[in-house]
């Protein structure tokens, strides 16, 4: 065992150390480290959690990549159909990393009741539709089944259901205008079999999910015609490169658009969270480092005589500096332990008890989501320890200026 580490342990374990003048300052330093790690963990967990939650909700309604006609209009309605008799459907084997592809269509309509009405898009989906996302969103009833004969079952959002006073089992009438406005509109009576709530109010207010075959009939499309394809990827981090690959492996008459291109404002907004996280981490580490510098300087001044004695016995400057850096490392680790215990406790409480609600009209979620990963927790703790120790190297240089003779006469 090196003697610097041995002496540091003896100093830390001594009663005089715990009741010394520096004790309150040491406690403040430990508290600063603990508070810093708590704030940083919460910032990362909620920041990444919010990004992933919003991203997953947008993907649920649109897929990661959309394949459609070049001449499609800018609205969410499917105008000109495309055939699903293409090489990349129903299995997109040309691009590695594609998890699923499905054909959908959308048509604007008006929900009509005896005393109210509401505009929305009926999103037509077929037997190939992946319901995994909406299975998590489901709050009442069941998911529709379009694998058999054409039916009038629909899935409606709780937002629209509350506004129009609908419940599971109710029927509703939806009116679709024809291209020739002089002709009578198409009217379909739907049965509500399920109610979903994604928490993304902008999308909940827009989409009702129904049978694709109704839209094919209304639009006079063939059975193989759809509005567009939705492609789901295995890894969101490869979105940009996979979008390019998908474009290169589709016919030149079709356009490929990633989810980030389709919802630019939403994804630009959630990118700001990264800057906020980096800013919070920088500020917290700086504050914790300054508090530890103060604690170290007080420790050095308090033990000036001991420093002089060690130097007189032959210890060099770096050896004495190591002694105090070991001491500081203990204080930092103590702060990290307390910070992790409290921080993880708060994060798990939010994850399972949902203590902090959010306004879905602003944040697109009903409560603050948290993302807990061992990876970023380890990086955060190791990074804090290393950066704080590096910040302490400079103030520990003051030890080299202490003269053994003067230090031993110091009172």
Residue tagged 């939403």 (tokens): 266
Confidence at residue 19, expressed as pLDDT on a 0 to 100 scale: 59
Distance CA 70, CA 86 (A): 16
The verdict on whether omega for the bond into residue 90 sits within 30 degrees of 0, i.e. cis, is yes
Tell me how far the alpha carbon of residue 13 is from its chain's centroid: 43
Residues 6+ apart with CB under 8 A from 189: 152, 171, 172, 173
Confidence at residue 365, expressed as pLDDT on a 0 to 100 scale: 80
Confidence at residue 71, expressed as pLDDT on a 0 to 100 scale: 64
Q: Which residues of the chain have a pLDDT value below 50?
A: none
Contact 254, 68 (CB under 8 A): yes
Confidence at residue 74, expressed as pLDDT on a 0 to 100 scale: 59
Confidence at residue 367, expressed as pLDDT on a 0 to 100 scale: 84
Average pLDDT, the chain: 87
User: Residue 238 is encoded by which pair of tokens?
Assistant: 């490869």
Contact 219, 107 (CB under 8 A): yes
DSSP line for 266-295: HHHHHHHHHHHHHHHHHHHHHHHHHHHHHH
Confidence at residue 35, expressed as pLDDT on a 0 to 100 scale: 93
Phi and psi for 211 in degrees, rounded to 5?
-75, 130
CA dihedral 259, 263, 268, 273 (to 10 degrees): -70
CA atoms within 13 A on the CB side of 183: 9
pLDDT tens digit sequence for 120-146: 999 999 999 999 999 989 999 999 999
Distance CA 228, CA 73 (A): 12
Distance CA 250, CA 86 (A): 9
């Amino acid at each position: 065992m090196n003697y610097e580490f041995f002496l540091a342990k003896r100093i830390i374990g001594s009663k005089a150390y715990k009741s010394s003048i520096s004790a309150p300052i040491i406690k403040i330093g430990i508290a600063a480290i603990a508070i810093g790690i708590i704030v940083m963990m919460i910032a990362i967990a909620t920041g990444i959690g919010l990004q992933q939650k919003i991203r997953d909700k947008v993907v649920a309604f649109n897929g990661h990549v959309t394949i459609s006609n070049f001449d499609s209009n800018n609205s969410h309605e499917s105008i000109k159909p495309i055939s699903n008799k293409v090489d990349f459907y129903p299995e997109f084997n040309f691009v590695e990393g594609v998890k699923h592809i499905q054909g959908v269509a959308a048509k604007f309509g008006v929900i009509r009741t005896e005393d109210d009405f509401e505009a929305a898009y009926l999103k037509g989906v077929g037997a190939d539709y992946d319901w995994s996302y909406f299975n998590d969103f489901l709050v009442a009833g069941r998911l529709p089944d379009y694998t058999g004969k054409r039916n009038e079952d629909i899935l409606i959002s709780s937002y629209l259901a509350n506004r129009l006073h609908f419940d599971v089992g109710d029927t509703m009438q939806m009116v679709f205008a024809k291209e020739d406005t002089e002709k009578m509109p198409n009217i379909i009576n739907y049965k509500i079999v399920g109610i979903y709530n994604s928490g993304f109010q902008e999308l909940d207010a827009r989409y009702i999910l129904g049978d694709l075959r109704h839209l094919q009939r209304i639009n006079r499309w063939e059975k193989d015609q759809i509005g567009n394809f939705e492609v789901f990827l295995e890894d969101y981090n490869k979105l940009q490169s996979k979008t390019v690959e998908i474009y290169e492996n589709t016919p030149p008459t079709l356009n490929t658009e990633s989810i980030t291109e389709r919802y630019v404002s939403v994804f630009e907004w959630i990118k700001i969270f990264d800057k906020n996280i980096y800013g919070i981490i920088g500020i917290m580490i700086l504050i914790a480092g300054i508090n530890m510098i103060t604690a170290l300087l007080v420790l050095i001044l308090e033990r000036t005589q001991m420093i002089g004695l060690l130097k007189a016995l032959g210890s060099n400057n770096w050896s004495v500096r190591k002694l105090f850096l070991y001491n500081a490392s203990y204080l930092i680790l103590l702060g990290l332990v307390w910070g992790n215990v409290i921080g993880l406790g708060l994060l798990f409480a939010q994850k399972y008890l949902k203590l902090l609600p959010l306004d879905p009209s602003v944040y697109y979620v009903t409560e603050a989501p948290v993302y807990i990963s061992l990876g970023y927790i380890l990086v955060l703790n190791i990074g804090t320890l290393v950066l704080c120790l590096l910040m302490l190297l400079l103030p520990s240089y003051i030890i080299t200026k202490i003269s053994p003779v003067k230090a031993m006469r110091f009172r």
